[in-house]
């Protein structure tokens, strides 16, 4: 049962077969927009880019959360953005001693933000990276970096 929260979002995964020869699918039931997305071990390890992986989904979550956090930070500085284009690259690597780990999430943003200096924009990027709830969930477990530039 889900813990009590102001907003709860749900997804389900179904897997068939072993880890390396099996496959699965996931569905996000909260919005209905994430339906029957196929995933596999090969997708996680870079062998099959036709399917998705938990790391790609994590990258999407981090990029979108960071975009919102940066928009909030800039708005608070009286410099609301016209647009923010954010990408996240999430690493999935073998661990020392066996197994795998999510090792990093690198955020890159290009902003169209009138009336802000490059230094102030980079400061806002750093603050947003710290304040982003997905960054906070990863903090202490995953190396996070955030770089920004103005259009």
Backbone CA torsion sign across 25, 29, 35, 37: negative
In the chain, where the domains are located: 1-52, 54-150
Q: What is the mean pLDDT of residues 56-61?
A: 96
Confidence of residue 1 (pLDDT cuts 50, 70, 90): low
Confidence of residue 108 (pLDDT cuts 50, 70, 90): very high
Helix axes 118-131, 54-76, angle to 10 degrees: 130
* C-alpha separations of 50 from 27, 37, 59 in Å: 17, 11, 16
* Closest-CA residue to 14 (of 1, 24, 28): 24
> What is this structure's pTM?
0.92
Render pLDDT for 114-135 as a digit per residue (tens, 0 to 9): 999 999 999 999 999 999 999 9
- Residue 22 pLDDT: 95
Check if CATH label 3.30.300.20 holds for domain 54-150.
yes
* Number of helical H runs and strand E runs in the chain: 4, 6
């Amino acid at each position: 049962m889900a813990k009590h929260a102001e907003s709860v979002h749900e997804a389900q995964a179904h897997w068939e077969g072993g880890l390396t020869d099996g496959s699965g699918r996931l569905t996000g039931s909260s919005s209905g927009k994430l339906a029957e997305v196929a995933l596999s071990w090969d997708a996680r390890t870079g062998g099959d880019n036709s399917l998705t992986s938990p790391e790609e989904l994590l990258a999407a979550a981090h990029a979108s959360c960071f975009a919102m956090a940066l928009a909030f930070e800039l708005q608070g500085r009286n410099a609301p953005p016209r647009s923010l284009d954010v990408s996240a690259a999430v690493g999935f690597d073998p661990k020392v001693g066996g197994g795998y780990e999510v090792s990093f999430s690198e955020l890159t943003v290009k902003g169209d933000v009138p009336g802000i200096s490059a230094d102030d924009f980079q400061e806002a990027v750093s603050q947003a990276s710290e304040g982003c709830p997905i960054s906070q969930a990863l903090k202490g477990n995953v190396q996070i970096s955030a770089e920004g530039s103005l259009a």
